[in-house]
C-alpha cells in the first residue's frame, strides 16, 4: 500500500507544482522539456532498458503519437490547473479512463457488464456536474477547453500506452524509455523555435523546476508500476486506490490550501466521479 500512497503523492505534487508555476512565472514549456530529460534519465537508471532491441518493426507510429501528445497535453494540464484549479483538473484527468474503456468496447470488442455500463453513465454525468459553474463575465469561456483537452488527451495517451503494452516483442520499459526520449526531442524543438522567435527567454529557474517536475512525474510512474507488482493478484485495488486517492487528496489540497471555490453541484459531481471509479473498478472482477 505504501507504493500506492507514494504514487498518489507524486501525482498530486505535479499538479501543485503546475499551480505554483504561474505564481513564480515559470515557463511551462521549458520546465516540461527538462522534465522529460529527467524522466528518461531516471528511467534509464531504474529500468535498465535495452535499446538494442529496437528495430524497424517496433511500433514507431505509436511512439511518435505519444511523443507529440505527451508534451502537448502537459501544457493543457498546466493551463487547466492555472485557470480552473487542481480539483477540476484532477477530476478531468482521472475520468479520462472512460476513453480507453470505450475503446475497449468499440475497437477491441470487449464485453461490458451492467456494473461497467452504470459506472460509465454516472461518470459522464459527473463530468458535466464537476465543471458546471455560474456564469462569470470576468471568466473567459475558453478556459473550459483546457480540462476537455486534458480529458481527451490523457484518454488517448492511455489507449496508446495500452497498445504498446500489447506489443510483446519489446519490454514495456524499453518502449517507455523510447517515448520519453522522443517526447524530450519534440519539447526541445518547441523550446528552440520559441527561443529563436523571441517568445521565451531561457532561464535557470525553469531548469530547476523541470528537474523537480521530472522527479515527481517519474516517481508517479515508478511507484504505480511497483504497486501493481506488489499487488499483482488484485490490480483493481491499485486502480481504485490510485484514482480515488488522487481525486480526494487533490480536492482537499485545492480547497484547503489554494482556496479553490466549488459549488454544491461541483461537490455532487466529485462524489459521482468517485462512485463511477468504484463501479468501473468493481466491474473488472464482476462475473459477466
Work out how many domains the chain is built from and give that number: 1
- Confidence bin at 99 (pLDDT 50/70/90): confident
DSSP-assigned letter for residue 200: -
DSSP-assigned letter for residue 117: H
Write out the three cell numbers for 84: 480552473
DSSP 23-78: HTT--HHHHHHHHHHHHHHHHHHHH---GGG--TTS-HHHHHHHHHHHHHHHHHHH
What pTM, to 2 d.p., does this model score? 0.83
> The cell 458535466 sits on which residue?
128
The pair phi, psi for residue 280, each rounded to 5°, is -65, -40
The whole-angstrom separation of Cα 250 and Cα 211 is 22
Q: Is residue 34 part of a domain?
A: yes
**Contact (Cβ atoms closer than 8 angstroms) between residue 122 and residue 181:** no
Closest CA to 177 of 237, 221, 128: 221
Mean pLDDT on 160-187: 90
The whole-angstrom separation of Cα 34 and Cα 31 is 5
pLDDT at 101 over 70: yes
Q: Is residue 170 part of a domain?
A: yes
**Contact (Cβ atoms closer than 8 angstroms) between residue 247 and residue 69:** no
- Confidence bin at 288 (pLDDT 50/70/90): very low
pLDDT at 187 over 50: yes
Mean pLDDT on 156-175: 86
Domain hosting residue 20, numbered range: 2-283
The whole-angstrom separation of Cα 109 and Cα 106 is 6
pLDDT at 224 over 60: yes
pLDDT at 16 over 60: yes
What's the chain's length in residues? 288
Write out the three cell numbers for 267: 461537490
Highest mean pLDDT, choosing among 70-84, 92-106, 179-193, 223-237: 179-193
Q: Which of 57-61, 110-114, 125-129, 270-274 comes out lowest in average pLDDT?
A: 110-114
Mean pLDDT on 41-54: 93
Q: Is residue 288 part of a domain?
A: no
Amino acid at each position: 500500500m505504501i507504493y500506492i500512497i507514494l504514487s498518489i503523492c507524486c501525482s498530486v505534487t505535479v499538479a501543485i507544482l503546475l499551480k505554483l508555476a504561474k505564481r513564480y512565472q515559470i515557463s511551462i514549456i521549458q520546465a516540461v522539456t527538462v522534465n522529460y530529460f529527467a524522466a528518461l534519465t531516471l528511467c534509464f537508471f531504474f529500468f535498465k532498458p535495452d535499446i538494442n532491441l529496437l528495430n524497424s518493426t517496433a511500433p514507431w507510429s505509436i511512439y511518435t503519437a505519444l511523443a507529440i501528445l505527451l508534451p502537448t497535453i502537459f501544457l493543457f494540464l498546466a493551463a487547466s490547473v492555472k485557470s480552473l484549479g487542481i480539483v477540476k483538473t484532477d477530476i478531468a484527468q482521472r475520468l479520462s479512463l472512460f476513453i480507453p474503456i470505450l475503446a475497449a468496447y468499440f475497437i477491441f470488442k470487449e464485453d461490458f457488464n451492467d456494473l461497467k455500463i452504470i459506472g460509465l453513465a454516472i461518470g459522464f454525468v459527473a463530468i458535466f456536474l464537476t465543471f458546471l459553474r455560474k456564469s462569470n463575465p470576468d471568466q473567459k469561456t475558453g478556459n473550459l477547453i483546457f480540462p476537455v483537452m486534458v480529458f481527451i488527451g490523457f484518454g488517448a495517451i492511455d489507449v496508446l500506452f495500452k497498445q504498446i503494452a500489447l506489443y510483446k516483442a519489446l519490454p514495456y520499459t524499453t518502449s517507455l524509455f523510447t517515448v520519453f526520449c522522443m517526447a524530450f526531442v519534440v519539447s526541445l524543438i518547441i523550446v528552440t523555435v520559441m527561443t529563436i522567435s523571441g517568445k521565451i527567454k531561457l532561464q535557470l529557474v525553469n531548469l530547476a523546476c523541470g528537474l523537480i517536475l521530472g522527479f515527481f512525474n517519474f516517481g508517479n510512474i515508478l511507484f504505480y508500476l511497483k504497486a501493481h507488482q506488489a499487488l499483482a493478484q488484485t490490480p483493481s485495488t491499485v486502480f481504485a486506490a490510485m484514482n480515488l486517492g488522487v481525486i480526494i487528496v487533490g480536492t482537499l489540497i485545492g480547497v484547503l490550501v489554494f482556496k479553490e471555490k466549488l459549488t454544491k453541484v461541483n461537490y455532487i459531481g466529485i462524489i459521482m466521479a468517485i462512485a463511477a471509479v468504484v463501479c468501473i473498478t468493481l466491474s473488472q472482477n464482476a462475473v459477466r
